[in-house]
Amino acid sequence: MGNHMSRNLVANGYNVKGYDLSAEARAAAAKNGVTPVNSVAELSKDVDFIVTCLPETRHIKEVLTMEGGVFASANPGTWVCDTSTIEPAGAQEFNALAKESGHTYLDTPMSGGVTGARDGTLTFMVGGTEAEFENSKKVLDGMGKNFFHCGGPGTGEIAKIANNLILGISMVGACEGMAIGEKLGIDPKVLQKILSVSTARNWCIDTYNPRPGVLEGVPAGNDYAGGFAVSLIKKDMLLAKKAAETVGADTTMIETSHEYYKHLEENNLGKKDFGYVFQYIMNNKKI
């Protein structure tokens, strides 16, 4: 995701520095015109915007608040647009800490997957004031197409975890439908075309179908590599469950769907794209 996003920023005329723990990722970014640096401190200095994208709330907190981190190293007035999927309460905390250190932190989680990152069509959900939302588009516009002001700090994350809990549930349903149809004897390509223009249509069917050989340019056609990892959708669904429990909301479908991703991760398939659920179901839940 980050490689595609930084490439699009460069292509849209931005001067981009990039840091990743992986030397391989830094080298790949350099080929796209990004200037690789060797630390968070070096990344944070003398820039207008910092775009972060990390797996969990604790990772963002570390990068922002550690010695040599963003808040300690960035020039006063620097903006942080965090595209991670994290706890809404964490985003609220970081927004307040940023103000104390003379910076601006916004939760700006994204949706659109690897294809959206590649094509520059990501959707960004922003939590902050209206003025902050408008200013954030100065950098988000280089990576995406759709921008929504969700409300105050943390509301971008609320929108994102709602989206991803629906996504995780929908993928299980799409996989079950595609698998059952194929086992009953219909050509999966024909089935996908029908579902794409019928009432079962959703992103997991018409854009990111999990059945190999049905669509081109999706992880299912690449041995489920390079997509949205099982471990990440599992994490996001747990975030949704935790948030739902704070307001007494029902989590039945979250819990049921989460079990599929949990079993895959337990079988060392956490790095596979979450569409791998299709293989799990086709093999009668045997790995």
What is the set of active-site residues?
Answer: 160
Q: How far is CA 55 from CA 63, 78, 85, 218, 222, in A?
A: 12, 22, 7, 22, 23
Q: Which residue type, as a one-letter code, is found at position 216?
A: E
Q: For 143-202, give the secondary structure using H, E and C.
A: CEEEEEEEECCCHHHHHHHHHHHHHHHHHHHHHHHHHHHHHHCCCHHHHHHHHHCCCCCC
Angle at Cα 153 formed by Cα 143 and Cα 17, nearest 5°? 35
For residue 107, give every residue at least 6 positions away whose Cβ sits within 8 Å of its Cβ, in sequence order, or none: 82, 86, 88, 91, 94, 95, 125, 126, 127, 128, 153, 154, 155, 156, 157
Residue written as token pair 């471990």: 231
Beta strand 110-111 with 122-127 is: antiparallel
Residue written as token pair 């989680």: 109
Please name which of 139, 137, 145 lies closest in space to residue 116, comparing C-alpha atoms: 145
